[in-house]
Structures are given as structure tokens and as C-alpha cells.
Amino acid sequence: MATKLHKEFLSDPAGLDLPALRQLLRSIQAERQHRAEKVEVLEDRLQASNHELAFRQHEADVSRADLYRLQRADRPSWMTKVTDLLGSEESRVEAYEKQTAEARNSLEHFLRLELTQVFGRRTRDERGFVPHDDEMIQKSEAEILREGTLRDTVLVTYVAPYSEQKRHISYRVAEDTTVKTLKEDVCTYWGLNEVEFVLKLANNSKAHDSLKVMEAFRAHEESHLMLVYKTPKNISIMSSEHGDILPRSGRKRLKTLTPGAISAGGPSPGPRGADVPLRRSEANKSLAEEMLLLPGLFKFMTQRDRNAKKHLERLKLRRLCAYLTMALLTAFTIGLIRPPGVGYECVTGISEAFTGGVHSGPFDAIGSPEEIYSWLEDTVSAQVFTEDSMLREYNYLVGYLQVLTQRVAEPSSSTCYGPEGVGIFGLSAAASREGLNFSSLPCVHSSFHYDTAETSQPQIQQYFEDKVGKDGRSMSKPWEHQPGVTSGAGSASGAFDANDGAGQSLEYQLQYVPLSTVRNAFLEDLRFLRSVGWLSSSQTRALHVSFVAYNANYLTWIWSRYSFDLSAFGTVHPLQHVVPFRPHLAEYGLDGELVVSDWARSCLLLFIFFEVYRDARHAQKDQGDAWKRWKHFRGLQVLMDLSLTVIFLVSLGYRISYYTSEPSVSYAVSHVYNFRDAGQVAESYGVQVCLEAVLLALCLYRFVYFLRVSRHVFLIWRSVARSAYRLARISLVLLLLWLGFVVLSLSVGSRFHNCNRTLGFTMSCSLLMMSGDVRVAQLEPGESFRVVSVLLLFCFGKLVLANVWLAMLMQEYHTARVEAGSSSAYKWREYDWVRWILFWCGCRISDVHRCPKSSDVMDLGSRRSSRLDRTEW
């Protein structure tokens, strides 16, 4: 059937209907599976046959070896001797060499015996040599070791002045050969005057004439000296310089005038009638003199290529991969701790429910105690104590809702202090005679702390004494002052002061059944508190509404705290703090990934510190000084690695504390018995995420640092680093100027604008305005002084600071580009890639600073081709 359908399909593909095509496909698939099974069976048979063939071949080899052994044992001895005599060519050669060696040894033994009988037996030393006092010199072990480190040959390179031609010669030196002797000999050899030339080392430092040649080099420095032409001293001065140093007035000025100058017109009159000597015209000055007038221009225009490639020696691929892996693992950890988008969704959902103005006015527009009561009665009761609210539909509310007030003592005249600080307003006798009496004017406490807190509230105690623990209320007593230590609340930065958890609190159970009973009790308590003036600008300094919610969709806990700071002037400043967190990390499927990430990063940090130690050893051996090793540990990059390690350990400590903390179920159960503010846990969780973010920034910084193996990245890095260093040298002046603008803004705008009410807020706003954000200025017509201060601050940030930084950056970029040389010097060959990729390139790790480069190998070949080996002078 399948074959028939197949033939019909090949003859007429469009003639088959859909069921026939399906049947054809099933048959083809079955046939294909049958063929695959058949091929698998044949492959198994082939493998078994191969095993059998190998076993049979091994048996044949063993049988053949046994046969040869038996044949050799059975044949007669004469046949074995003939076979040995007529063996292979190799056996005959070995026999001949053995016979020759025996003959030579016999002849030497015979000659030794004959010589001993004629001349007598000679004494030998412990090494088997015959001592000759007049021919051999005995040296001690210390002298032999010392001679092994001496330098007996020096390469001298003659650099012809004003030419690129170089000549080489090798010079044999003794222990007492000085640099002066060496210079005189090489100058005599090349026909030069030794007074006009000087010998320099490879690092371009001059070798002193009285210094011995063997002591002129470091331990691992190559014995290479360069004979260069001295820079001649200019003992003649130009006419313009001579005119500048002449006296301008007085008798000495008249003595310097020549009769020719006087007849030509005399000296030109100077300022205030002084005589100024004739100077050369400005137009006749050379280009070098013109460039000397501007600071730094001559140095910038005369700079040369310095072949800046020494930084490539310690930039290895392994360290680049280590920091990149560290950064990726840190980003992965941040994604596990704070998944992207989860925190935003959780915070936005709860924040919009309480501050979006759905049930009452907007949260940011609340400006009076009455509006606070309206927000509590309308928004809080509708979202928290209603079964079908949006907040309860998507979140599970845990524990209690706390309404915490921070009230100060009642106003009194004893808290008022006048100009003289004595009595009520410090009134003087003259003020009393004028009839000014302010003794009846009370004063309030402007801030809330332990000394100014209100401790007794009789009306509230009378009302709540019978209602504690009923209708969803907690067992806490709202009329008693609770210190911040026992409340468990984390400190939150308010508009004026740092608020803690101290005060009187009302707490309502969020899982009470029925929930309408708790809502009615909450509204009833608010009506009573409004009637007794619970919120007032005279005594209330802050009101905090706190609760904890759990979102099962995102497996996230949300701590919410809505605060109202009331000043002594009656103003209200609303603030909100909504922070997502997790009390325990091991219960959300994150324990395995986080443990693997932490272990991997710990291993990478150990590898990084091993590389830091190797860099220190390299610096010591390169400079030949042990102090260079310890100086290396004080460098900026080592400090960055140390900071990276410290931050990782602190973050790991935070994470371990979360691993060992109580489970989420126990944490939720602990909220059932009493109110528990989650502020400290939420803030600690946020600190952990911030530490990981800082760790990621440090890893990326070090990763970009090792990307300097690219010429473009190296130019950008060096330009930014040098310009930042130059800017840091004038940072004190810039900082003082900025502080002056801050004080000016504080003194001018502190009376009108919220941005300038404190020194910290003024600093933040000034930084935003310097960066170009003019929205924080809040300029209004009629504020001429503040308009001028904002304009000056903007000009300082944009025109002065930005342009200074840009000018430094451009100059350093061109300087770094010239120093780095042409891009052709950065074209690597195969050996350079091997040195960059492999852990060590065939050289010992201890001698890594002496690993040859491909360019060095080529230079060495050219030197050997033109070197003249001169052993005697």
C-alpha cells in the first residue's frame, strides 16, 4: 500500500488528498525507523566482529612468539653461534666498538705502568688531578661564586650626533676598570674626543667617571652603555636678553649707552619718564621664543614619541577574564537578590494606592492636620480595612498597622529665651518701663527627643483604658511613651529631624475577623482623637503610619511607612518610605545559585591577590629594590582590589546573616503577637544590594583598566587619569568656591524655598544646578538676588569647571597620543599573543621580567651582525 501511494505521489504530487498524504507520511516514517533499527543492529555486529578480530590477532602474536622461542631452544649450539656471528649490522658495530675500547684501555694501562716505573708515582689531589704549583691556581669556593656574578664584557653603542646611525663594540673589562678608562678607550677606537662625549646607561642616566664598570649596573640589568654627544652649554646670550638685563634708569643706564645709540635717536622714553633700552623687535623673535611666552606650549610642541608600551607587560588575558567573570557573577547576584522590575512593581502598586488621591486628595498636597485626618479616614481605612480593596486583592497584610505619634510637652513660657538669655525673652528694665510684658506668651518645643517628649495623656488614657485588646486593637497602651529601642522601628530621615520609633502608638490587627469591626474601631478612635486635638502644630512633631505586606506573585515583602513632619510653625511635610525586602534568602529558590556565586567570587578574589603579589615581585625584580614591592601595595589599583575584597566580605556577612535569620514563616508568625516594624530588616536588605552595586562598579573599573592592552583604551584611560590628577591639584580652590556659592544660596534663598532650608539640601540642589537641572532652582519674579546667585552658580559649573576639565582632557589626550607612538607599534605578532594568553610563555615565573619580546629578538640579531668583539686593548 505504501509503495503504491509513493508511486502515485511521484507521478502526480497534486493528485493525492490529505488522508492519503498523511498515510504516506506515516509509512515513510515507519520505514525510516525500521532502517535506523536495522543499521543499529548491523553496527553492533560490526563492533563485535572487530573485538573478535583483535582478540584473534593477539592470540596469533602470542603463538608466533612461543614458536620462535621453542625453535631457538631446540636448534643446536653451533647454529646459535653462527647466528650470533652473522647477526645484524648494529650488533656487529657494537662488537667492534667494544673491542676497540678494550684495546685502548689496555694500551693506556700499559703506558701508565711504564711511566710510573721511569718517573716514579705522582701524587694526586682529591679530584684526581696532578697538582702543579707553578702552573695551577687554587681558588676558594667563595671566590669562585663571586667570579660567577662578575661582568667581564660590556656592550658599548655609539650614537652619532644628528644621525640615526649606531655602532656597536664589545669591551672586556677587569674588576678595577673605571668608566673613564672605558670612555677613553672607545673614543680612541672611534677617533673621537672624550671631552665631548659621555657614557649613559640604558635608562638614560649618566655613568660617573670614577665609578667602576662592574658596579654601574643593577643585578638584572644588561651590560649596555651608550656613548652619546654632550649637550653643549650656551655661554653666549642673545641681544634681546642682553637688553632685558640692562639697567633702565640712573647713571648705570647712561654708562651702558653707546655714542652710536645716542646719535641714532637715544633711548626711547619709558613709563613715568624712565629710559628703556632699545630692544629687538617683537617680530624678529624666533618660534621657540614665541612658544616660551605661553606656559606649557614649548614642552607640548617639542615632545617626542616615548614608546609607551611598558604597561603591556602585566596586562594579561587571565586577569581580564577574572574581573569580567567577577562582574558577571556580581550582576547575576544582584539579579537574584533584587530581580529587575519586581521592586518597581511592588513599590509603585502600594505607593499609588496610598498617594494617588483615589479616596482623598493627593498625598504630596497634604498641608494641615485636618487633611491628615481625612487621609487616615478615607485612604487608609479604605485600603487597609476593606476586604475588596486593591491592596488586599494582590497582597497579604501581616501583623498590625501602627499609627505612631511623636508629641512634645505642652507649651509654656519657661521654654522661651530672649536676646539676653535671662528670664522670659530677657526683658530689660527699659522694655518694662515701656509697658512690654511677654510673660504670658507660651513657647513650644521645636524638636522631639527624650527630654521634650510628652509622658502623660489623661484624656487618651481614660478613653483607651477599657478598649485595649478589643475589636482588633493590640495590647499596647496608646497613652504611654514607648522608647525607640523597644518599638523596633528603624530610623527614617524626615524633613527636619531624624525620626526614630519613640512615641505613642495605636496598633490595629490586620487579620482580624470580621475586618469591618477593626475599621469601625479605627474610625471611632480617629473621631475621638480629632475631638481632643491629637494632631496639633503646638505639640505634635511627627506622625508615622507603618505596616508590612507580602506579595505572593513576586515572593516579596514590602515595608511601608508614611510620615508627616509637623513644624512649630504649623507646616506639614509628607514623606513616604516603601522598601521591598526578603527576611530569608534560602526559602525562595536562591540558596544554590547564591552559594555557587559566592564561592566562585571567593576563588576569583584569591586569584586576584595572587596576581597582585606577582606584580609586587615583578616590580621588585624590575627595579632591583625590595622597597618597590611594598611601595607597589600602596598603589591605587591595589587599593581598588583591597576595597573590592572588603566590600565583598561585608556583603557576604550581610548575606550570611540573612541565611542564619529566622525563616519567613516564623517571621510572619512573630507579627501576629505584637507589632514588629520591618524598617531595619528592609534597610539592611537594601544596603546589601547597594554593596553589590558598588562591587560591580569596582569590577568594571578594573576590567576597563586591563583593557588598556588596546591602544585606543590606553589613550582614553591615560587622558582621563592625568586630567583628573591635574584637576585634583586645584580641587581645593574649586571646593572653596563651591562652598561660597552654597553659603550664598543658603543665605539668599533659605527664607522662601524648600531646596535651601538646610545646608545639606542646599549642597544637593547646588550640585543639581551645576549639572544643568534648573528645575530645582524654583525661580520666581522679584527674587533678583537669588536669580543672580543661581546664574553665577550655573556659570561656575558650566563655563568654568566644565571648560577647565575639557581643556585639560584635550591637552592630555594629545600628549598621550604622541607618547604612545604610532599604531604600528601595537601590531602584535604570534609570540606577543602567546605571552598575553598563556600563564607563562616558556620563561620561568621568577624571570618573567626577562622574557624576550619579538622586537627585542630582532634588535639582538641586528646588534650581533654589527658587533666587534674586542678582547684586548
Checking DSSP bridges between strand 224-229 and strand 153-159, what pairing results, if any? parallel
Residue 576 pLDDT exceeds 60: yes
| Residue written as grid cell 505586606 | 549
Cα separation of 445 and 422, whole Å? 18
How far, CA to CA in Å, does 864 sit from each of 170, 202, 861?
A: 10, 18, 5
Least confident interval from 217-231, 397-411, 739-753: 739-753
Predicted confidence (pLDDT) per residue in 536-564, tens digit: 877 888 899 999 999 888 888 899 999 89
Predicted pLDDT at 696: 94
> For residue 601, what pLDDT band results from cuts at 50, 70 and 90?
very high
Lowest mean pLDDT among 9-13, 270-274, 551-555, 581-585: 270-274
Residue matched to cell numbers 642682553: 242
Q: What is the pLDDT of residue 424?
A: 44
Give the type of residue at 453: A
Q: Does this model's pTM top 0.75?
A: no
**Which segments of 356-389 does DSSP mark as H helices, in order?**
369-374, 381-384
The C-alpha cell 569590577 sits at 699
**What is residue 435's predicted lDDT score, i.e. its pLDDT?**
52
Number of other CB atoms surrounding residue 42 within 10 Å: 10
Torsion of CA 519, 524, 527, 530, to 10 degrees: -90
Percent with pLDDT over 90 in the chain: 8
Report residue 296 as a C-alpha cell.
606649557
Query: Which is nearest to 525 in space by CA: 570, 478, 565?
Result: 478
**171-175, 452-456, 585-589, 859-863, range with greatest mean pLDDT:** 171-175
Cβ within 8 Å of residue 280, ≥6 positions away: 238, 239, 240, 243
| Contact by Cβ (8 Å): 314, 618 | yes
Instruction: Give one DSSP letter per residue of 274-333, joined into a string.
Output: -EE-----GGG--HHHHHHTSTTHHHHHT-------GGGGG--HHHHHHHHHHHHHHHHH
Q: 582's torsion region: left (phi>0), alpha (psi -120 to 50) or beta?
A: beta
Mean pLDDT of 441-445: 70
860 pLDDT above the threshold of 50: no
User: Quick one: the chain helix, strand, coil %, rounded to 5?
Assistant: 55, 10, 30
Lowest-confidence pick of 128-142, 274-288, 434-448, 587-601: 274-288
Preceding omega of 514 cis (within 30 degrees of 0) = yes
Q: What's phi and psi for 694, nearest 5 deg?
A: -65, -40
Q: Judging by beta carbons within 10 Å of its beta carbon (0-12, 13-18, 19+), is residue 151 exposed, middle or buried?
A: middle
Question: Higher pLDDT residue, 128 or 339?
Answer: 339
Residue 135, Ramachandran bin (φ over 0: left; ψ between -120 and 50: alpha; else beta): alpha
Model confidence at 25, in pLDDT bands (50, 70, 90)?
confident
Which grid coordinates are listed for 142?
667563595
Read off the C-alpha cell for 690: 547597594
Does 714 or 7 have the greater pLDDT score?
Answer: 714
Q: Which residues contact 537 (CB under 8 A, 6 or more apart)?
A: 369, 566, 567, 568, 569, 570, 571
Phi, psi of 237 (to 5 degrees): -110, 155
Residue 628's pLDDT is what? 56
Q: How far apart are CA 54 and CA 56, in angstroms?
A: 5
Res 45 pLDDT > 70: yes
Q: So what's the pLDDT on residue 853?
A: 43
- The C-alpha cell that represents 486 in the structure block: 523597644
Check pLDDT > 70 for residue 485. no
Q: Provide the pLDDT for residue 462.
A: 86
Q: Residues 776-813: pLDDT tens digits?
A: 666 665 566 677 777 788 788 878 888 888 888 888 88
Q: If DSSP codes are grouped into helix, strand and coil, which group holds residue 562?
A: strand
Cell reading at 20:
492519503
- Tell me the mean pLDDT in the region 831-852: 57
Express each pLDDT in 277-315 by its tens digit.
444 444 456 777 777 777 777 777 777 766 677 777 778
pLDDT in tens, 354-382: 887 777 778 888 888 888 999 998 889 99
Tell me the mean pLDDT in the region 592-612. 87
Which of the pair, 271 or 68, is modelled with greater confidence? Answer: 68
Nearest by Cα to 161 from 118, 212, 197: 197
Residue 836: count of CB within 10 angstroms of its CB: 16
Q: Which three cell numbers stand for residue 329?
A: 557573577
Give the Cα separation of 790 and 32 in Å (integer). 83
Q: What is the mean pLDDT of residues 246-274?
A: 54
Higher-confidence residue of 637 and 76: namely 637
Q: Which residue has the cell 568594571?
A: 700
CA distances from 843 to 315, 393, 834 (A): 17, 69, 12
pLDDT of residue 625: 59
Q: Is the pLDDT of residue 850 over 70?
A: no
| Cβ atoms of residues 699 and 644 within 8 Å | yes
pLDDT tens-digit profile of 699-730?
A: 999 999 988 888 888 888 889 988 888 888 88
Which pLDDT belongs to residue 487?
42
C-alpha 855, offset from chain centre: 33
Helices marked H in 481-590 — which ranges? 484-487, 515-531
Per residue, what are the HEC states of 297-313? HHHHHCCCCCCCCHHHH
pLDDT digits (tens, 9 = 90+) for 136-175: 566 777 777 777 677 888 999 998 877 777 888 888 888 8
**Position of cell 515572593?**
555
Q: How far apart are CA 578 and CA 564, in angstroms?
A: 15
Cβ proximity of 248 and 277 under 8 Å? yes
Q: Are 418 and 424 in contact (CB under 8 A)?
A: yes
| Residues 616 and 633 sit within 8 Å (Cβ to Cβ) | yes
Query: CA nearest 354: which of 318, 336, 379, 330?
Result: 379
**Of 206-220, 252-266, 557-571, where does mean pLDDT reach its minimum?**
252-266
Cell of 642: 583591597
